[in-house]
Structure formats: structure tokens, C-alpha cells
């Protein structure tokens, strides 16, 4: 007998939860926040996230900037040398075939 009562209570609780979930879904559709409310919420969340950011120090920023500039110069020089060698080889082939 006690088991049947437990099952009935469990069934009632599950059906109550299902009805409550349906009501919540219906009320969510009707009470969608307005455009400006969503924008305000977005900015508040943005502010919270920006507080979590660990910003680099000025020294770290300068160091990283110098590293990037050095890498750009190195790659630029490498491409310049490769272009000069490839251009020379093409000119040599053109003179060899035409001459």
C-alpha cells in the first residue's frame, strides 16, 4: 500500500512539474524583454566580462610590439631575397632561351 501511495505522489509531482514547465514556457514567450532592455543587458554583461580580462602591462605591450616588428622585418627581407633570386633565375632562363 505504501508503495502505491509513493508512486501516486511521484506521478503527481511529475505531472505538476510538467504543467509548471508548460506555463513557464508560455509566459516566457509572452514576456520577452524589449529591444532596449536586451541592449542594456548586453552592455552590463560586457562590463562584467571586461572586468575579468587581464590586461598586459606597458612593458609587455612594448616587448610584444618589438617582437612583431622584428618578425615582420625578417619575413619581409626573406621574401625580398627570394624574389630577387627568383627574378634573376627567370631573367637567366629568358636570356638563355632567347639568346
Each domain of the chain, given as residue ranges in start order, spans 26-98
Instruction: Identify the residue whose cell numbers are 587581464.
Output: 54
Interacting residues of 56 by C-beta distance below 8 A, sequence separation 6+:
64
Amino acid 25: pLDDT = 58
End-to-end Cα separation, the chain, in angstroms: 109
- Give me the pLDDT at residue 17, please: 64
Q: What is the pLDDT along the chain (99 residues), one digit of tens a residue?
A: 566 666 566 666 666 666 666 666 555 556 788 999 999 999 999 999 999 999 999 999 999 999 999 999 999 999 999 999 999 999 999 999 987
Amino acid at each position: 500500500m505504501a508503495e502505491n501511495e509513493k508512486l501516486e505522489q511521484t506521478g503527481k509531482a511529475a505531472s505538476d512539474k510538467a504543467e509548471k514547465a508548460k506555463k513557464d514556457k508560455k509566459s516566457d514567450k509572452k514576456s520577452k524583454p524589449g529591444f532596449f532592455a536586451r541592449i542594456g543587458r548586453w552592455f552590463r554583461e560586457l562590463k562584467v566580462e571586461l572586468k575579468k580580462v587581464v590586461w598586459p602591462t606597458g612593458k609587455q605591450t612594448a616587448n610584444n610590439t618589438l617582437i612583431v616588428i622584428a618578425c615582420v622585418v625578417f619575413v619581409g627581407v626573406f621574401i625580398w631575397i627570394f624574389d630577387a633570386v627568383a627574378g634573376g633565375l627567370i631573367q637567366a632562363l629568358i636570356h638563355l632561351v632567347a639568346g
